Amino acid sequence: MLDFLLSNQGEEEPKSQALNVISNIIGWTYFVCWSASFYGQLYENFKVKNVKGIAFEFLGLNLTGFLFLSAYSSAGYFKGGDNGWPFSGGITKQDLFFAYHAVAITVLTILQTAYYYKKGDNPGVSQWCIIVLIVLWSQTILYVLLTWIFGWDVIFKQEKLNVLYWMGYEKLFISFIKYVPQVYLNYKRKSTVGWSIFNILLDFMGGFLSFLQMLLDSLNGKSANLVDVNIVKFILSWIAMGFDGIFMFQHYILYNPKKRTRDALLDEYSIPKK
């Protein structure tokens, strides 16, 4: 077990093995938090037996984003550093397993959503989201054609990295916009019922621990500076924590379900609200 915790394929030799073990423990903890967070929405859909509370744009963008992240993480872990390509950014086992698991659970959530969907429950995927998905996939296919097949140096000199780096940055873009429809849907419904707060709390914890792991790795000599550890992972953690903060504000303050139930009872019995 200790050898597994100490092993980091394709990374610089750490200054402290103790910090290295702590970093790996934190890494597996954030992996568990982020991975377990997906099951909250599965349970929420099962509990309410409808999909009124989840934005379909979130699901479509989420699947595309995690497919891109899987390709980016696979390249960085299996082919990065000493293994071939000059891939900057330390991809850990936790990053790799998380990406694969995220794709599988997102597909399962989409299938569950299709099962519980009833006409009129949800407006469906909006036109702007469809256009964004078409553009993202078209750009990726175009990059494959230009770099891997024709060998053009579009952005990066190592042709195979063109698509992979681009997928990583597309994942960042997706993560920035995918939560917006859900924030708006909660606002429009004036409720977070049907949107799992369990998902949000674990997602926030995972984002914080992900950042903490990168900070420890930077202090432990695995990178010249914090951002170089993994720029995609670094920005993803802050995007996740930012939007999770908005969702927690909506759930616990703006549209607190317990407060709404209390207010409804007070209105029914004409009791003045405090």
**Tens digits of per-residue pLDDT, 61-79?**
999 999 988 887 887 777 6
Residue with tokens 């077990």: 1
- Token duo for residue 24: 């790996």
pLDDT band (50, 70, 90) for residue 187: very high
Band (10; pLDDT cuts 50, 70, 90):
very low
Quick one: pLDDT at residue 88? 53
CA separation, residue 151 to residues 135, 156, 163, 164, 269 (Å)? 22, 11, 12, 14, 74
Q: What is the pLDDT of residue 169?
A: 80
For residue 267, is pLDDT > 50? no
- Evaluate if residue 8 carries a pLDDT over 50: no
* 127-154: b (≥16 Cβ within 10 Å) or e: eebeebbeebeeebeebeebbeeeeeee
Buried/exposed code over 230-264 (b: 16+ C-beta within 10 A; e: otherwise): bbbbbbbbebbbebbebbeebbeeebeeeeeeeee
Whole-number pLDDT of residue 2: 30
pLDDT at 261 (0 to 100):
54
Please compute, for residue 229, the number of CA atoms within 13 A of its CA located in the half-sphere on the CB side: 26
User: Does residue 34 carry a pLDDT above 90?
Assistant: no
Percent of the residues in the chain that have a pLDDT greater than 90, as a whole number: 26
> Is pLDDT of 156 > 70?
no
Local confidence band at 271 (pLDDT 50, 70, 90 cut-offs): very low
240-257: average pLDDT: 91
Over residues 229-254, mean pLDDT = 85
Global pTM exceeds 0.75: no
The band of 184, judged by pLDDT with boundaries at 50, 70 and 90, is very high
Which 8-state DSSP code applies to residue 271?
P
Q: Give me the chain's average pLDDT, please.
A: 78
Q: What pLDDT, on the 0 to 100 scale, is given for residue 53?
A: 86
